[in-house]
A and B are shown apart, each in its own frame.
Chain A
């Protein structure tokens, strides 16, 4: 109860901070200080227009499809590889260096390689989404498995658990909170990957709109799309958190 109460307090404070920022922005925008700081009310009006004429929904649909095509395999494979790395020292030794290197590497640097591999098509966006989100899922899952209480494993083995039962009944549920955290961080990374892929390579979806409005100095429209991307990232993160709470009730 106290946790929920504290959450709500944070929520109120957070909303207050956002409202304050928007108000300040509106004032600066009205003062007409710079072309690049248009009033928020103007952005909202344009945003509504882009929503109504189908520009944003169309771009967002294309983006979301790439997001799903990239993130679902990243999540499934990431958890599988993470489980194997957490459980088996040999697998960990083989893959640890690669995973750590690719997780901390600036992935935008891999864009030329991805273009060579996938061409300039929609699939390349899914591939960037995968590259951006896969490793964080792997690392979190591995950490979760490795943090499994030794005594729980002993207990299950004592009662006759084989490798399969250990996985399904001890390692996986024990790693679940860490896995869920990995999926949440991975989802946020996936949105980044999506935008990077769409802007730098493929020119489709929301990323294409960002580039187009940016290049044509349609600043209100540009901010409207940026706002949409932020909103999308926030919604996905919230969805992952809700799933986490539903699955990991016992905490």
Chain B
């Protein structure tokens, strides 16, 4: 993303990515434990995926990092800050897009900036650039209901990027998008990420997606969620331009991930 935040506060900002430390986190909903003693360290600028069977607490962990879900035990650090609530360094992309149906694309993308007190003129400019970045120029005045699922999620991504997050949390963002659109979107995401270099935590159900996008894949075990395995993905980058999906290394890693997950079902 272009250096859009000219304000002094933004100029003195920390580097464009931060480390995340999840340290011994447990969370229960009533008597149901959702996460038990989860510890994960996500390096600054790393792309990390969380994968696991349904009900393994992937989304709970993501919301805890976002500060939307208080935890019972343990602590979470994003950079130097201990998470006790939503903070300015995080941004999130939601599975159901979470767009305001009563607002245009432009206003949706401006929404995070609006809540963070950015002035109107700057908001419009920054949002305009974010919209262009995700390839939605010309749709600024459309309403979400007029767009396809893939385009709606591009709006969600533009909104998340507009606030220039150091940490980008993505909760199954492509789950309800068709396969062709998803592949294009994955490549665009990787291209944008290599520009922004934010730390990304990406929740997914798809093994191919996890391997294709990530530096590392964390496998969570189901009910309650524990860290079961951490899989390194040493595939070369940039992957979006090359034929990584056709490579033996890619296939082998997906297969390895499948063998791990199969035992967890």
Question: Of B63, B115, B143, which is within 8 A of A156 by CB?
Answer: B115
Given the known A-B contacts A160-B116, A161-B115, are A155 and B92 also in contact in the complex, defined by CB atoms under 8 Å?
yes
Contact A158 to B145, CB < 8 A, known contacts A151-B96, A173-B102, A250-B101: no
Which of A156, A158, A161, A250 lies in contact with B102, CB distance below 8 A?
A: A250
Q: Indicate whether A98 reaches chain B with its CB closer than 8 angstroms.
A: no
Give the interface segment out of B10-18, B83-91, B120-128.
B83-91
A158 and B96 in contact, given A165-B115, A176-B102, A250-B101 (Cβ under 8 angstroms): no
A152 at interface, CB cutoff 8 A: yes
Q: Indicate which residue in A149, A154, A159 contacts B111 across the interface (CB closer than 8 Å).
A: A159
B98 CB-CB contact with A under 8 Å? yes
Q: What per-residue 1/0 map shows which CB atoms of B106-120 lie under 8 Å from chain A?
A: 000001100110000
Q: How far is the CA of A173 from the CA of B101 in the complex (A)?
A: 9
Secondary structure dominating the interface of A:
helix
Residues of A within 8 Å of B98, CB to CB, are 149, 151-152, 154-155
A160 B143 Cβ-Cβ under 8 A:
no
Q: Which label, helix, strand, loop or mixed, suits the secondary structure of the B interface?
A: loop
With an 8 A cutoff between CB atoms, is A8 at the interface?
no
| Size range of the chain B interface in the assembly | 20 to 34
Contact (Cβ within 8 A) B92 A158? yes
Partner of A154, one of B68, B88, B143, B163: B68
A19 to B85, CA, bound (A): 64
B254 nearest CB across to chain A (Å): 30
Bound CA–CA A2/B100 (angstroms): 25
Q: B145's contact among A155, A157, A170, A250, by CB below 8 Å, is which?
A: A250
Residue in chain A with minimal CB distance to B97: A151
Q: Are A159 and B94 in contact (CB under 8 A)?
A: no
Q: Closest Cβ of chain B: how far from A158's Cβ, in Å?
A: 5
Residues of B within 8 Å of A156, CB to CB, are 111, 115
Whether A158 lies near B101 (C-beta < 8 A) is no
Q: Which residues of A contact B116 (CB under 8 A)?
A: 159-160
Query: Contacts of A173 on B, CB cut-off 8 Å?
Result: 100, 102
> Of residues 122 to 157 in B, which have CB atoms within 8 Å of A's CB atoms?
143, 145
Given contacts A152-B98, A152-B100, A154-B68, contact A159 B63 (CB under 8 A): no
Is B76 interfacial (CB-CB < 8 Å)?
Answer: no
Judge whether B145 and A160 touch: CB under 8 Å: no
Decide if B96 touches A157 in the complex (CB within 8 Å): no
**In contact, A149 and B63 (Cβ under 8 angstroms):** no
Complex alpha-carbon distance, A250 and B163, angstroms: 25
B253 at the interface (CB under 8 A from A): no
Measured CA separation A157–B66 after assembly (Å): 10
CB < 8 Å neighbour of A157 from B86, B88, B143: B86
- Interface flags, A130-164, vs B, CB<8A=1, else 0: 00000000000000000001011011111111000
* Known A151-B94, A154-B63, A154-B94; contact A159-B100, beta-carbon cutoff 8 A: no
- Extra 13 A-B pairs, beta carbons < 8 Å, given A154-B66, A157-B86: A149-B96, A151-B95, A151-B96, A154-B94, A155-B94, A158-B67, A159-B91, A159-B116, A169-B115, A173-B102, A248-B102, A250-B143, A251-B145
**B-side interface residues toward A, CB under 8 Å?**
63, 66-68, 86, 88, 90-92, 94-96, 98, 100-103, 111-112, 115-116, 143, 145, 163
